Amino acid sequence: MEVKADRGEQHLIVHKGNPYPKVSHTGVYDKDILCGDCDNILGRYESYAFDLFRKIRTQSVSAGKIIGVDGVDGDMLVRFASGIA
């Protein structure tokens, strides 16, 4: 969970159950890299991936096991990855 942003683009990350926060070096943010419409489109893909990964994390699986997730929209996931790239 990112709880605060200061010192440029570094975020303080707190993990549940861990009393010591961690600083994340997320890089430099350029607000002019995308137009608003394109940013909104990419935001939909990011939201989809975020919700999917959240759903996956709720599954109780031991380390090293492969899990299945029904109803994954592969196109949305590829578009999310492409937007990150």
- The predicted-structure confidence for 10-59, as pLDDT tens digits, reads as follows 566 777 787 777 766 665 556 677 788 888 888 899 999 999 988 888 88
Residues 48 and 35 in one domain: yes
**Cα-based angle 69, 75, 80 (whole degrees, multiple of 5):** 90
Does 6 have pLDDT greater than 60?
A: no
Residues 57 and 81 in one domain: yes
Instruction: Check residue 36 and give its pLDDT.
Output: 80
Instruction: Check residue 8 and give its pLDDT.
Output: 53
Residues 9 and 22 in one domain: yes
- 17 is in which domain, residue-wise? 1-30
Question: 34 and 42 in contact (C-beta within 8 Å)?
Answer: yes
Confidence of residue 78 (pLDDT cuts 50, 70, 90): very high
